[in-house]
Structure 1
């Protein structure tokens, strides 16, 4: 027999301690110390995640809205976007996604928003005739955008005609403007 065995004899009546028993004993010791320090013990969580309200004794929360109610996903995403400074990008994405509904199917078939920079919305028209038409009704388009997205996001429209075709084909070319025709 070793010296350790002589000092700490294990009797067959003591069951071996399991991890669960050790954890329970540690928890009880911590609670005892906390009570001795004058703290309240065994209260658990005081409310929903992020909230500071206390749980009620009864199981129902009542008829009014409270933090325990499910939240619409759009509202939660909007709050995250606002906290992170993504408001402008989300608004721009919404404008581009809802362009058909905002300006109408006629106009959206011939006009496509390209980018929004510092309150100026760049719109590409399918032809020069449509570009002229869009310039004539630009004030109405701005009103529709303000009604759908809120005022101040788009202050001005910059309407551009169709892209001019490139006549440069291959590595060799002749200088000059190319064929003379009316583009944009």
Structure 2
């Protein structure tokens, strides 16, 4: 007689097998248990060496595709190092769109001066952060008031006697 009685199979396994519509069998349960190997917990196997947190985070950001976005954030965070301390006091990065980094200056004079230095600044950004994807730098002056409100603005020069 074969030993396929449910008494030799642990009760939890027998219940699981009955719910799945299978016949509890101690022979198949033991065989399955014997064949199963856990390579993940074997010592001295490949991939088991400890790694630093920096290496793990670098691998995670590479797999998730965050390298470009983090590099653009690094450009903003280290703007004082990229552009220089004096320039960083009077400018700030405001946007990044389709490869163009937009920098806002405190005055139009600073914006014009930085336009003359555009190639040097762009070279420094590309050298330090090649994965950022910066292909152009645009310099703008300070925010000026806009007289256009809403979608139905009248084209033209706007009010001319406001300050007089």
> For this structure pair, what is the TM-score category when the shorter chain's length is used for normalisation?
0.5 to 0.7
Q: Which has the higher helix share?
A: 2
Structure 2 residues without counterparts, runs of 5 or longer: 1-9, 13-24, 149-157
Aligned twin of 2:43: 55
Aligned to 1:71: 52
Contact 2:71 / 2:132 at 8 angstroms: preserved in 1? no
8 Å contact from structure 1 (residues 34, 40) kept in 2: no
The C-alpha deviation readout for 1:129-184, integer Å capped at 9, x for no partner, is 1111100111000111011101671111111011114689xxxxxx604449xxxx
Question: What is the TM-score when the length of structure 1 is the normalising length?
Answer: 0.58
Give CA deviations for 1:32-60 in whole Å, capped at 9, x if unaligned: 6455469446x5x4236xxxxx423xxxx
Distance, in Å, in 2 between the alignment partners of 1:37 and 1:82 is 38
- Normalised to the residue count of structure 2, the TM-score between the two structures is 0.64
**Any unmatched runs of 5+ in structure 1?**
1-20, 24-29, 49-53, 169-174
Match of 2:73 in 1: 93
The count of corresponding residues between Structure 1 and Structure 2 is 137
2:162 corresponds to 1:176:
no
Larger relative contact order, structure 1 or 2 (CA cutoff 8 Å, min sep 6): 2
Whole-Å separation in 1 of the counterparts to 2:57 and 2:32: 43
1:120 to 100, 106, 111: 100
